Amino acid sequence: MTDEKILSVRMHGEHIGLLEQTSTGKMQFTYAVKAPYRLSIGMEVQEQSYDEIRTEAYFGGLLPESEMARKKIGQRYGVNHNNSFALLKAIGYDCAGAVSLHSTEEPMAKASKVFSLKGEIFSQSELHQHIQELPKKPLFLGVEALRLSLAGVQDKAAICLIENKIAIPTDGCPTTHILKPAIKGYDGIIQNEYLCLKIAARIGLTVPKVEIRWAEKTPYLLVERYDRLIKNNKVSRIHQEDFCQALGILTAKKYQSDGGPNFKSCFDLLRNTSQPVKDRNVLASLMVFNYLIGNMDAHGKNFSLLHANNVQIAPVYDVLCTNIYDDLAKKMAMKIGGYYEIDKIHPRHWERESKEIGYSYPALREIIYKQAEDIMKAAEIEREQMKEAKLFDPIVDQMLQFFDKHISQTLKKFDRQ
């Protein structure tokens, strides 16, 4: 008989351990003997069970953060929305990375490593309806047999792209893309994220494929999942974890001001990857990029590690110029040189941060100068391309005005040195 309080944790289709809800209602994770894979860079294979904090940090980090989304999922499956174990049991078949959660009695054959790309394609009207219902039915909740989870606050859904059309996966096929609709009250947010990702790609950062599409007259952002490999109509999972999971930090503490990661802990984490120097250079570029584009929300869950043939920092994701929205925070998620406010940061603070994270200040200064020039050029090019492709929104010009002002002020501070 199945134990209702224990789930089989599988990676690439193989059993690696057990997730258990203890008598206190908390979770603990125990690796299987000779587990074939490591769950996290911060959770080495060992005999002893991992405690509730480390377990919640990793597994709770797989779930949506929105209180409303959790409530809707809880209502749909008849479970307490505050109970991470119950939610994972309900929707944990397709999570970020290569992890999936199963009944201990479910055959391994149902969680193979490679899947045929299969799904039911939505009509435009069906897709439009599902997008409209996302706030009430997070993750396309209610679509028959759909059991998947995405972390984050924003309403979104994981889907498959089949014959270049949006589909819901069937026969256990993992999702291949993330669909992100507009957010009420934040004009042009789709074009905002699209432009930031395109600029990032143009200046040399690694980003997933992204495009703006419409369901009838409703726009949405379609982002290819970097934790999936799609080849010859076959899909396989690539394992990944965000920095909070890797560091054992609860999702609720993802911001530095709440006790979450700072840049030092992030740079120290990258000393454990396969190519630490390369990955730390990437993180330095991301730190500068988020600062220059005014992305105040670059917290510990917006940086990740990919576990493929080696461990490396993941591509850029969830980047926005948040600074242009009046009701969003004007403080960065992580301090630079002791300050959260971008207008208070001067060269001496970058130098102080360099010492803190163990990174060359001249090298960091060179990144700032190079990106300052490249971002403006890339933004102008992408603006014209968005106009030609009829993707333009007035938010684009607001973003370029902010970039120009903020980058100019940053360079003046360095020139006065």
297 is catalytic: yes
Helix H or strand E encompassing 139: none
Is 292 exposed, middle or buried (CB count within 10 Å of its CB: 0-12, 13-18, 19+)? Answer: buried
Residue 170 · residue 118 · CB < 8 Å = yes
The dihedral of CA 165, 170, 172, 178: what is its sign? positive
Q: Which residues contact 181 (CB under 8 A, 6 or more apart)?
A: 131, 134, 155, 156, 190, 218, 219, 220, 221
Strands (E), 70-171: 99-103, 114-116, 119-121, 157-162, 165-169
- Active-site residue, selected from the candidate residues 297, 327, 343, 393: 297
A 10 A CB-CB count for 204 gives 12
Residue 253 · residue 260 · CB < 8 Å = yes
Which active-site residues does the annotation give?
297
